[in-house]
Amino acid sequence: MTDVSKSLMISFFACCLIMPAIVIGQVRESANYKIERDSLNTGGSLGESGNYKVEDTIGEVATGRSESTNYKVDSGFQQKLEDSFIAISTPSNVNMNSINGLTGGSSTSSAQWTVTTNNNAGYSLSIKSGSNPTLTSALDYLDDYTISGVNPDYDFSVPSDKAEFGFSPSGSNIITKFKDNGISCNVNQNDTLYKCWEGLTTTDTNVAQSNIPNTPAGSVTTIHFRAESGSNKILTAGNYSATITMTAIAL
């Protein structure tokens, strides 16, 4: 029997809202309190009615906005942190090992995205495919992975007469849907490596979320990809590729 192999490659396109980096002054805090902005002045008060509220400060000096190409400073107690930013890294393309097209086999690889934001409400990260099905060649394709129920599959399992492609996220901020209890997904808080698999679609699927800012280090999410062909499935030889889009949004 002739040995026919397929080489697999995933191309990435990462998109997000990116604004200039902003440096924020020191935040003083304890277990119960936080002072985000302090100032030297002679007085001030809060005035309010049923429909309006005004906070004023008397005697401040050197207030207002100062900025350069790389930095921006809003000086003064009443200055608001109106500007926020979010950024996402772009990994290199991922090359996956070849799969035998006649006898079947599997290939697993991964890529990492780092999301950084100063947004007080945090961020969400989603994934989607650039095509349907996701992993294709000029003459053939692998089906997008089909889960057995309503939750991601704990183990990646493909029938002997099928060839499928799916993903599994891992990282400190992955959503509960992709967490596990050692047996099933969407339960408990475990982040077991190479567990909780799902198929890609051309619609965004949320994979990670945080409700706090994470500057300056950011938060890393790893997406594991798996292609598998069953022993009774014959695939056409060739190079198979996929385009994956990761989108980070400030909440």
- For the residues 194-199, what does the mean pLDDT come to? 98
Q: Which H or E element spans position 29?
A: strand 28-29
Q: Are residues 237 and 166 in the same domain?
A: yes
Q: Is the bond preceding 133 in cis, omega lying within 30 degrees of 0?
A: yes
Domain check: are 35 and 93 in the same one? no
Span 215-221, mean pLDDT? Answer: 95
- Same domain for 119 and 226? yes
pLDDT of residue 19 exceeding 60, the answer is no
Residues 39 and 144 placed together within one structural domain of the fold:
no
Place of tokens 């302090």: 38
Rounded-to-integer distance, Cα 140 and Cα 236, Å: 6
Asked whether residue 170 falls in the same domain as residue 144, the answer is yes
Q: Do 38 and 154 sit in the same domain of this protein?
A: no
Would residue 81 count as lying in a domain? Answer: no
Strands 28-29 and 34-35: antiparallel
The DSSP code for 246 is E
Q: State which residues form the domain around 115.
A: 5-19+86-250
Does residue 170 sit in the same domain as residue 212?
yes
Model confidence pLDDT, tens digit, residues 92-144: 999 999 999 899 999 999 999 999 999 999 999 999 999 999 999 999 999 99
Q: What is the mean pLDDT of residues 208-226?
A: 96
- Give pLDDT, residue 210: 97
What was the pLDDT predicted at 42? 58
Asked if 203 and 166 touch (Cβ cutoff 8 Å), the reply is no
Among residues 225, 159, 149, the alpha carbon closest in space to that of 187 is found at: 149
pLDDT at 107: 95
- 64: alpha, beta or left, given left = phi > 0 and alpha = psi -120 to 50? left
Section 169-190 average pLDDT: 96
User: Could you tell me if 14 and 35 lie in one domain?
Assistant: no
Domain co-membership, 52 together with 145: no
Q: What pLDDT is stored for residue 238 in this prediction?
A: 93
pLDDT of residue 67: 76
Is the CB of residue 77 less than 8 Å from the CB of residue 60? yes
Domain count, the chain: 2
pLDDT tens, 30-71? 766 666 555 555 566 666 777 776 666 666 666 667 777 767
